[in-house]
Amino acid sequence: MISLPPDITFEKRPLPGGGWAYEFRHRTLGALGRILLQSLPGRRDTYISCEVAGDPADPRTAERRAIFEPLGLEIARQMEQIVGSPTDKRPIVPPAPPAEPGEVVESKLMQCSTCNAFVAMLVFAPGATDAGRFEDYARRMYPEYSRRNLPTWIIGPASGPGPEDSADILQVWPTRKPLQRLTPAQFNPRLDRLAANHCRPKRNSMR
């Protein structure tokens, strides 16, 4: 087996339909991709394939692919020699990432204070305790926030039990920003401005 870079770990898990998945994670990029070992109906050999984690339209998927593809293909090639089956040469990017079982991501849409149009989305990420886990939420929610096209923040767990305790917050849309640690007093005014300003330019231009 080739040795993994220090930032990369993997876990082996059984697949629901039979077979095994080797799931690879990166310290800061979160889930990278999987190598799947499956027996197809009517065939005796094991089918080995690689897939990169994430929506193909998400720019982060390309970053994950750049790291995972050479590694995944090399490991898959070595597995193929052991089990004696051909490997699918190209990693498959699934058209829509399947929902990860048992994890419901809570989100909230903020509305304009005048017309009630949606102006922002907040994603609550109590499990986002490090950079890689923030990326997991960003990856999983990408189809949703890219479709809604609203400013979107992923909010990690509060640093303490008090109502004014800070939390790590990651803006993921329309542009990626660095992770920030903000208190509600620092963050909420941004949302208030979005809610207040949505209809304001329109009113001014009517005068």
User: Which positions lie near Zn ion, rule CB under 5 A?
Assistant: 112, 114-115, 117, 198-199
In the complex, the smallest distance separating the C-beta of residue 174 from Zn ion, rounded to whole angstroms, is 18
Would you say 30 and 63 are in contact if contact means Cβ atoms under 8 Å apart?
no
- The candidate with the shortest Cα–Cα distance to 110, out of 190, 41, 177, is 190
Closer to Zn ion by Cβ: residue 159 or 197? 197
Backbone φ and ψ of 70, nearest 5°: -65, -40
Query: What is the dihedral sign for C-alpha 145, 179, 69, 65?
Result: positive
In the complex, the smallest distance separating the C-beta of residue 165 from Zn ion, rounded to whole angstroms, is 31
Token pair of 139 as six digits? 């990856």
Closer to Zn ion by Cβ: residue 11 or 192? 192
Closer to Zn ion by Cβ: residue 34 or 198? 198
Residues 6+ away with beta carbon under 8 Å from 199: 112, 114, 115
In the complex, the smallest distance separating the C-beta of residue 151 from Zn ion, rounded to whole angstroms, is 14
Closer to Zn ion by Cβ: residue 9 or 114? 114
Q: Report how far residue 30's alpha carbon sits from residue 52's, in angstroms, rounded to the nearest whole number.
A: 12
In the complex, the smallest distance separating the C-beta of residue 200 from Zn ion, rounded to whole angstroms, is 8
In the complex, the smallest distance separating the C-beta of residue 183 from Zn ion, rounded to whole angstroms, is 27
Closer to Zn ion by Cβ: residue 12 or 202? 202
* SS3 call for 136: helix
CA distances to 42, 46, 54, 147 from 122, rounded to whole Å, are 47, 43, 20, 14
Tell me the sheet residues that pair with 39.
46
Q: Which residue is nearest to Zn ion (CB)?
A: 112
